[in-house]
Structures are given as C-alpha cells and as structure tokens.
C-alpha cells in the first residue's frame, strides 16, 4: 500500500479481503486471451491502478443511444421478455401485431429491425449542440443481439436486422464530432431474462403449447432467413424452464417472479459456457472499438472472476492505447472497496450528498426503448427536468448520461427534437457553469428532500423555488436556481456567517449568464439575490470575489 493516497489506502484492505475470498481465476477465463499488463483480475489490483480520468470529470454530460430491436414494436422496455408472458400488454400487442409467440418470437422482431432511416451523423450534430461531451452506444441488451461486428456471437446486427455494424458506425460519427465514445453491455442477464421464451400459455386456446425458444433448433432454419443460426444460442438455453401443468396466468407470473425474474449476477447453474462467452464478447467489443467509456448493467461485476478479468483486460488495453488508464468502467451498487476500482452508476436515482469520488447517474427522457405513447401523450421529461437533474448531479461530483430513445427505423420524434433544441439553447448560454467545473464545498440547499437510491424517479415530485445548486470553475462560483424564483432568492450558504465558517472570501459581483449584473445583499444569515422575473428554465448566476470558490 506504500505510495497510495490515503483515500485509496483505506479501501484497499477491503479489496484485498474480497480478492482473498474469491476463488482463483477459472481456467476457462484465463484461456480467453485477455490483454497482458500490470492490472490483475482482482479487486486489490483494480483499486491500486485505477484513477478517474480528467476528461470524464470535465465532460459532465453524455447522451446514450439505448437502441436495438426492442424499439421496433414501439412499446417500451423489456419487450423481448414480456411478449412471452400471457396477460401482459406486450404479449397482447405481439399477438395482435405479429402473431402467437409459439409461431413468431423475439428472433423475428430482431430481424425486423432495419434502421432504414438512421442518420447517425445528423443525430450526433444534434447531440453535440445539446451539450453532450461523450456518446454511448448500446452494444448488446438482454435480448442477446450484439449490435456490432461480433467475432464470438453469430446473432449480431451484421447478420440479423440492419445488416450493419451499429456500434462501429456510431463510433466513427462520435469521434468525428469530437466526442468521447462509449459502449454499454447488458448481455450478462440474457440467460435468465429470456427464460419465459421457453414457457407457454397457461390459459386459452393454445394452452400448454411451448413458445418458439423451446422448439426451434438450428436445423429448422434451413432455407429461411436465419439459415445457419442456432436459436438456442440467441435464447441462451433451458436454464430455468417453467414446468408443465401451470394452469393460470397468475401462477405462471408467480413462477417467473420467483425463478428467472431475479436480478442475478451469477452464471447459469452448472454451466460456465455463457459466462466465458460473455467475457469473449466483451473483450472483442473493447478491442475493436477502443471505447473511452464502458457501462456494465451489473451490480459490481458479473460472473465473479470473469467480470474481474474483463475489467483488467479493459484497463490493460487502455494502457496500451494511451500509456495510462484513461477510460471509465461503470457498474452499480458498488461496495466501498469497489468504488476506487470502478465508477459507480446510479440508475434513474438520486443521492443526497456530495460524493468524494466521481460517479454517474443514467436516466432517460422516456422509456429506455422507444414507446410511442410517450410521444402521443406528450409524457417525456422536458428540458427543464433534464437540466435540473444535470445541475443536481454535477453539484455532487457526478455526471449525467441521458438516453434519447430512437424508433426502430433510427429516427427520433418531433417532441424529442424539441427537447434537444431546448437543451442546445440553454447550453449556449450556461455551459460555462457545467463543463470543466468542480463541486463547491457544499452542493447546494433548498426545501426539496431527495429519496436516495436507484430506480426511484417515479415518486419524485420535482424541484421547487429555493432549490439551488453550486459549481466552481476558474475561481468563480456558479449558482443554478433549479426553479426560477418569483421573489428575491435567499441563499443561506452565501450568508456572511456560513462563508466565514467555510473559510471563503467576500462576494464582489453577481452576473446572470446571458444577462447583466444582478443586485444582491449579503446578510449575516443569508444572501438575497434579486433575479429578474420570468427567467424560465434553470437560470444560472456567476458569483465572483476573492477566495469564494
């Protein structure tokens, strides 16, 4: 531990303990051809070698193309699982639109994904104007289709659906636009997520008839579009198959919830083949596209030593590419020892404090996969909601990764275009308070109390007048008013007493970004700031003075 910073040293002991508890690297994982280098496949080595890249800390805002074949039905998230669950609205949609899942399953939907109107360069220019400094392409979701030129999985977008290397196309467009490029990997959950495809209708005229995954083999593809492909490689095999004799929808749903409905980070029982293939596909992905950022849809790392091997491979490759680890690998629900070896991602959630280390939240203006109802019902999160979240997250040392859902044809709708245009207008005025900034000694203040955790956005009621957030850059302090005030804004953190206790200097000048000087009065307990009326979306003021940042 000699030479490590104190913040890393205190966590390295936990990483060493975690490494000691793990079994030695499995022979199967060791034989996959991982990149050689100083980083070893254990937590202690990840913690010892990893450093958060400055580019990520400066970037603050990324846009995510969470796009794949599940966008085709325009029904929202997890279509590839729910189409196989009788009684679910997506099952009913599938029955009406495509036929019974015993005859037409997810593999057919994948081949309907043609991306025929996709213009990645035009979309990228929109994302750049909206403020994105990094761009992330979904590489493979739980539906197990690799959206890239995969060397280890025949079910990929070159062979099925678009007939294109989607990740590779995005990568070229992002780098040409000057953005850092990332990928997201959700493959590890496919093996349990897909098990309903092996089930059957428990009720109705086709009761007991198994769905397509259960009956199809490679031989059945002769003369068809999927000639030479094995459906069992797509659907992952019979790991948790519902038994015969379930005779009600409620009982079938209960069986799935209890068995394959769990969020599992382990390999299929008694079968490490899927885990080994996951590692091969992940290493192929990073070797081909050299991503600056990689998102794992996992709680820590999947499959034990296979996940550790993937992280070590990525970091060692970065050393080959850049001479140092200059990449970001995110995962979720990290234990304390892991938070210095990876970057923590908080999916669709909040934190109530300023973090010591950089982190990220990922969210979406709608459903992860395109849902037409969001457009027709005008239920997207608008620019104001996005910018409020951005200000809240960056004030707490985080980044915001925002998904803009695309239709199956590759386009975005008019409401999404308007949101991006609104973001672009705001960024043109206020971007100096965002990009390259750092947190102040406190993130902000206000009446809104946030519920901490993941997946809890649904219950959030919104920010209100008096909620403010801070960033600092180049000696200036920036204040974001999350809701434009209709009366003088009172900020306790800027009162003389609070500033003196924090060792801060005296405020000399306040300027509204995009406007002029703003009157203020600094009292002992609070500062009163007289912002103009009718400012609209998240106004920002620049506060200047010696030693205030």
pLDDT of 2: 38
Q: Is residue 27 scored above 90 in pLDDT?
A: no
The CA distance from 363 to 302, in Å, is 22
Average pLDDT score over residue span 327-335: 97
pLDDT of 166: 98
| C-alpha distance across the termini of the chain, in Å | 33
Q: State pLDDT tens for residues 137-177.
A: 999 999 999 999 999 999 999 999 999 999 999 999 999 99
Least confident of 38-42, 241-245, 455-459: 455-459
pLDDT of 17: 53
Q: Cα 69 to the chain's mean position, in Å? A: 18
Average pLDDT score over residue span 200-224: 98
How high is the mean pLDDT of the chain?
95
The CA distance from 88 to 94, in Å, is 10
Average pLDDT score over residue span 196-205: 98
pLDDT band at 12 (very low <50, low <70, confident <90, very high): low
Phi-psi region of 419 (alpha: psi -120 to 50; beta: other; left: phi over 0): alpha
Q: Which residue has the tokens 């001479």?
A: 323
**CATH superfamily of the domain spanning 444-544:** Golgi alpha-mannosidase II (2.60.40.1180)
pTM: 0.95
Q: Is residue 264 scored above 90 in pLDDT?
A: yes
pLDDT band at 385 (very low <50, low <70, confident <90, very high): very high
CATH 2.60.40.1180 positions along the chain are: 444-544
pLDDT of 33: 80
The CA distance from 28 to 103, in Å, is 37
CATH 3.20.20.80 positions along the chain are: 6-70+109-191+267-433
Strand order in the sheet with 476-481: 444-445, 468-473, 476-481, 540-544, 509-512
pLDDT of 15: 54
Average pLDDT score over residue span 295-318: 97
Indicate the DSSP class of residue 366: S
What is the three-class DSSP state of 496?
Answer: helix
Average pLDDT score over residue span 305-327: 98
pLDDT of 10: 55
Contact 1, 245 (CB under 8 A): no
Contact 188, 181 (CB under 8 A): no
Cα–Cα nearest to 238, from 271, 262, 207: 271
The CA distance from 441 to 433, in Å, is 16
Q: State pLDDT tens for residues 85-107.
A: 999 999 999 999 999 999 999 99
Q: For 6-70+109-191+267-433, CATH number? A: 3.20.20.80
Average pLDDT score over residue span 120-127: 98
């Amino acid at each position: 531990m000699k030479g490590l910073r104190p913040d890393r040293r205190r966590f390295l002991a936990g990483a060493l303990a975690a490494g000691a508890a793990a079994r030695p690297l499995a022979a199967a994982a060791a034989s996959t051809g991982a990149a050689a280098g100083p980083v070893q496949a254990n937590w202690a080595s990840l913690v010892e070698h990893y450093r958060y890249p400055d580019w990520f800390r400066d970037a603050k805002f990324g846009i995510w193309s969470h796009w794949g074949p599940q966008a085709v039905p325009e029904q929202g998230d997890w279509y590839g699982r729910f189409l196989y669950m009788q009684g679910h609205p997506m099952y009913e949609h599938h029955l009406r639109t495509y036929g019974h899942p015993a005859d037409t399953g997810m593999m057919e939907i994948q081949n309907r994904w043609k991306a025929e109107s996709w213009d990645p360069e035009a979309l990228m220019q929109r994302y750049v104007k909206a403020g994105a400094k990094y761009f992330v392409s979904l590489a493979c979701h739980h539906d197990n289709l690799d959206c890239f030129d995969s060397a280890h999985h025949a079910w990929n977008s070159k062979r099925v659906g678009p007939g294109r290397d989607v990740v590779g196309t995005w990568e070229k467009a992002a780098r040409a636009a000057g953005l850092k490029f990332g990928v997201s990997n959700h493959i590890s959950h496919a093996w349990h997520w897909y098990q309903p495809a092996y089930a059957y209708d428990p009720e109705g005229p086709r009761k007991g008839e198994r769905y397509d995954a259960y009956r199809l083999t490679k031989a059945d593809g002769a003369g068809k579009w999927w000639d030479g492909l094995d459906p069992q490689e797509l659907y992952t095999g019979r790991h948790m198959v519902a038994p015969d004799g379930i005779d009600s929808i409620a009982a079938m749903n209960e069986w799935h919830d209890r068995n394959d409905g769990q969020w599992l980070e382990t390999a299929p029982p008694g079968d490490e083949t899927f885990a080994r293939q996951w590692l091969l596909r992940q290493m192929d992905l990073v070797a081909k596209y050299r991503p600056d950022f990689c998102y794992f849809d996992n709680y820590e790392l999947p499959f034990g030593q296979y996940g550790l091997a993937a992280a070590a491979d990525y970091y060692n490759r970065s050393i080959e590419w850049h001479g140092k680890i200059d990449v970001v690998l995110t995962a979720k629900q990290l234990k304390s020892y892991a938070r210095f070896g990876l970057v923590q991602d908080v999916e669709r959630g909040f934190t109530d404090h300023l973090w010591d280390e950089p982190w990220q939240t990922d969210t979406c203006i709608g459903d992860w996969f395109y849902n037409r109802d969001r457009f027709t019902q005008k239920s997207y999160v608008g620019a104001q909601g996005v910018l409020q979240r951005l200000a809240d997250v960056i004030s707490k040392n985080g980044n915001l990764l925002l998904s803009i859902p695309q239709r199956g044809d590759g386009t975005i709708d008019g409401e999404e275009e308007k949101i991006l245009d609104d973001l672009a207008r705001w960024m043109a005025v206020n971007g100096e308070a965002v990009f390259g900034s750092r947190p102040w000694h406190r993130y902000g203040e206000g009446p809104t109390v946030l519920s901490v955790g993941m997946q809890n956005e649904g219950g959030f009621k919104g920010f209100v007048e008096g909620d403010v957030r801070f960033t600092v850059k180049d000696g200036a302090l920036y204040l974001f008013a999350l809701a434009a005030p209709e009366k003088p804004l009172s900020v306790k953190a800027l009162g003389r007493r609070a500033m003196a206790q924090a060792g801060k200097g005296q405020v000399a000048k306040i300027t509204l970004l995009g406007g002029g000087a703003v009157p203020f009065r600094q009292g002992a307990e609070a500062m009163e700031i007289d912002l103009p009326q009718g400012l609209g979306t998240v106004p920002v003021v620049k506060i200047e003075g010696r030693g205030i940042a």
